[in-house]
Amino acid sequence: MAEAQDAKLNRRTFVSASTGALVGAAMVTHGAATAAGEPVVKKGQIRQSVVQWCFAEHWTVEETIVIAKRLGCKSVELIAPEHFSTLKKHEMECAIGTIDMGDGPPFTRGFNNPKHFDELKKATLKSIDECSRFGCKRVIAFTGMADGISREEGADNCVAQFKKVVGYAEKKGVTLCLEMLNTRDDTHPMKGHPGYQGDDTEYCVDIIQRVGSENLKLLFDIYHVQIMNGDVIRRIHQHKDHIGHIHTAGNPGRGELNESQELQYPPIMKALLEIGYQGFVGQEFIPVGDPLAGLKQAVALCDV
C-alpha cells in the first residue's frame, strides 16, 4: 500500500514538474520571440543561419532557434543531434552539423594525423548518419593540428582519409566541409587556433581538389580567410566551385559585423550572389555588446 502511494506521489510529482517545465519553456520561447521583434530579413536572397555556440552564454538552444526564426533566418547550426527535434518543432533547418570527438574541440583532431584516423572515421560516419536522417546536408571537417606533421604529409593524410569517408557521404546526400582556420590570433581559444595545419585557403582547396568529390567542399570562414589570406571577394570568385558553406565575424576580434571592424559585409554578400552561391551564411561572431542587437545588425548587413 505504501509502495502504491509512493508510486502515485511520484507520478503526481512528475506530472506537476513536467507541466511546470512545459509552461516555463513556453514562457521562455514567447519571451525570446517578443524580444526579437519584427523580422530583419527583407530580401532573403542570402539564406542565413545562426551558429549556436556563439550565443550559448546568453540564450538556450531553443531561445536561439526562436530568435533566429523571428529575425528571418532559416537555420541554427553546429548543434548536437539531440536538438534536431527542437529545430523540427520550429520548422527550422541545421545548415551544417558538427562532429562529436568527445573531450576537446573537434578541430584539434583531424584527418592529417594517423593517431586519430579510427576515432575520427567513426565519429564522421556517425555524424553523416545523424545529419542525413534529419535532412542536414553538411557536416564540418578539419585538418587537425600539425602536431609535428609536415604540411605535405598532413595534406597527403587528409586526402587519403577523406577518400575513405566521402563515398559514404555521397550515398547519404551529405557534403563534408573542410574549414580553414587562422593561426595568427592567440588571444582567445575560439578567435584563433595556433598550430592548426589547414591555415591557408589554397592548402585546403588543394586537398579538396585531390579528393575529387562534389561531396567535399570548403567551409569559407570570411573572418579566418581575412586574417590569413585577405582578398576575400577575389577568393570567393576564384574558389566558387569549392565553397560549401560560409561563416562570418568581424575582424579583428571576431566580434560583431559593425563599423569598428575592417570587413565590408554587404559587398561580400553580393559577391556570393554573383557566383550563384546557394548555401547558407552562418553568423559566427562572439558578441561584445548586446547579443540580440549585434545579431540583428549582422543579419541586416547580410540581407542584400
Q: Which tens digits make up the pLDDT trace of 153-195?
A: 999 999 999 999 999 999 999 999 999 999 999 999 999 999 9
**In the predicted model, what is the mean pLDDT of the chain?**
92
Least confident interval from 97-106, 151-160, 178-187, 236-245: 97-106
Q: Is residue 69 part of a domain?
A: yes
How many of the other CB atoms lie within 10 Å of CB of 48? Answer: 26
**pLDDT at position 22 over 60:** no
Q: Is residue 11 part of a domain?
A: no
Report, as an integer, the average pLDDT of 41-60: 98
Rounded to 5 degrees, φ, ψ at 97 are: -95, 160
Please tell me the total count of domains within the chain: 1
Report, as an integer, the average pLDDT of 216-238: 98
Q: How far is CA 92 from the centre of its chain?
A: 14
Q: Is residue 241 part of a domain?
A: yes
The model's pTM is 0.90
And the C-alpha cell for 92? 527550422
Query: Which CATH number covers residue 52?
Result: 3.20.20.150
Q: Is residue 54 part of a domain?
A: yes
DSSP letter, residue 300: H
Burial of residue 33 (number of CB atoms within 10 Å: 0-12, 13-18, 19+):
middle
For residue 57, the enclosing domain spans: 37-302
Q: Is residue 23 part of a domain?
A: no
Q: Is residue 14 part of a domain?
A: no
**pLDDT at position 103 over 90:** no
Question: In 3-state terms, what secondary structure has residue 112?
Answer: coil
Length of the chain: 304
And the C-alpha cell for 155? 595534406
Q: Is residue 21 part of a domain?
A: no
Residue the block writes with cell 587528409? 158
Sheet containing 138-141: order of strands: 75-77, 47-51, 280-283, 243-248, 216-221, 175-179, 138-141
And the C-alpha cell for 46? 542570402
